[in-house]
Amino acid sequence: MVLLLLAFGAVVGLVNGLITTRLRVPSFITTLGMFLILVGAVYLWSDGAPKGGLSEEFRRFGRRAVEDVPVLGRLPYALLVLLVLAALAVLLMRSDFGRTLVAVGDNPRTAELSGVRVWRTRTIAFILSGLAAAVAAILLGGYSGVSFQAGAGLEFGAITAVVLGGVALGGGRGSVVGAMLGALTLELLFALMNFYGVSGALRSTVQGAIILLAVAVSATRSSSR
């Protein structure tokens, strides 16, 4: 089942990549449209109510630790995935593909004139994004079980986290490490809000303010350059 979910995530990423590169649809519109299509399909299939359940073997990915592996001991799956992603991030930042990916995001025309197959690079990026989303869904499903509210609002949290981590929404600037630090900072901010008794209803307000401020700062820097 896990392999099926990973394959599904990769296929969704592939479709998004082809729509963006072949049909010239902006990336944000593509992912937003696919999100709405999948949500609608889930509601249609489930009749608007949670349906079925997850086996105990599946739920261990979000609730338990790695077992029967002496080297890892009882390392939680979430922490193991975080370490793997950190290692991949370092490789991506130091590899030719990573530098090509940044170049395509910064100036696709220049990258194309330099011999880069822009459409292929973008499609691969979408596939990797789909795989990462599938891994996050597996961990989240294993932790919370079958629930329509399990991932509600996380798409906006992800946008806020990467913007807070210095990633440009238009591409060409940012790093995986920065995005991870942005996510940790955002969660720390929410924890402090909860500690000081600030209403949870203001979470969306804080996220929106962070996005607007970060984009405004980025635009100001670009203009000055």
Q: How far apart are CA 2 and CA 17, in angstroms?
A: 23
Who wins on pLDDT, 62 or 92? 92
Using a pLDDT cut of 70, give the percent of the chain over it: 87
Report the pLDDT value the prediction gives residue 69, as an integer from 0 to 100.
Answer: 44
Report the pLDDT value the prediction gives residue 158, as an integer from 0 to 100.
Answer: 86
Nearest residue to 34 (alpha-carbon basis) of 11, 7, 50: 11
Report the pLDDT value the prediction gives residue 10, as an integer from 0 to 100.
Answer: 95
Who wins on pLDDT, 177 or 39? 39
Q: How far apart are CA 147 and CA 49, in angstroms?
A: 9
Report the pLDDT value the prediction gives residue 103, as an integer from 0 to 100.
Answer: 85
Report the pLDDT value the prediction gives residue 36, as an integer from 0 to 100.
Answer: 92
Report the pLDDT value the prediction gives residue 30, as an integer from 0 to 100.
Answer: 95
Domain edge (last residue) among 100, 131, 149:
149
Q: Mean of the pLDDT values across residues 88-102? A: 80
Asked if 25 and 125 sit in the same domain, the reply is yes
Report the pLDDT value the prediction gives residue 181, as an integer from 0 to 100.
Answer: 86
Under 8 Å between Cβ of 163 and 215: yes
Under 8 Å between Cβ of 179 and 88: no
Ramachandran region, residue 142 (left: φ > 0; alpha: ψ -120 to 50; beta: rest): alpha
Who wins on pLDDT, 14 or 216? 14
Q: Mean of the pLDDT values across residues 105-122? A: 88
Asked if 217 and 124 sit in the same domain, the reply is no
Nearest residue to 215 (alpha-carbon basis) of 161, 168, 165: 168
Token digits for 113?
Answer: 């004139």
Q: If pLDDT is split at 50, 70 and 90, which confidence band does 127 have?
A: very high
Domains in the chain: how many in total?
A: 2
Under 8 Å between Cβ of 137 and 38: no
Report the pLDDT value the prediction gives residue 70, as an integer from 0 to 100.
Answer: 42
CB atoms within 10 A of CB 20: 21
Look at residue 194 and tell me whether its pLDDT is greater than 80: yes
Q: Mean of the pLDDT values across residues 110-139? A: 89
Q: Mean of the pLDDT values across residues 106-115? A: 86
Look at residue 105 and tell me whether its pLDDT is greater than 50: yes
- pTM tops 0.85, yes or no: no
> What is the residue-averaged pLDDT of the chain?
81
Contacts of 164 (CB under 8 A, 6+ apart): 182, 185, 186, 210, 214
Asked if 30 and 141 sit in the same domain, the reply is yes
Name the residue range of residue 200's domain: 153-225
Under 8 Å between Cβ of 118 and 108: yes
Look at residue 159 and tell me whether its pLDDT is greater than 70: yes
Decide: residue 1, CB within 10 A, 0-12 exposed, 13-18 middle, 19+ buried: exposed
Asked if 82 and 119 sit in the same domain, the reply is yes
Contacts of 22 (CB under 8 A, 6+ apart): 119
Asked if 36 and 72 sit in the same domain, the reply is yes
Asked if 169 and 145 sit in the same domain, the reply is no
Asked if 162 and 59 sit in the same domain, the reply is no
Reported as a single tens digit per residue, the pLDDT across 40-90 is 888 888 877 777 677 777 767 666 554 544 444 455 666 777 777 777 777
Asked if 75 and 176 sit in the same domain, the reply is no
Report the pLDDT value the prediction gives residue 224, as an integer from 0 to 100.
Answer: 64
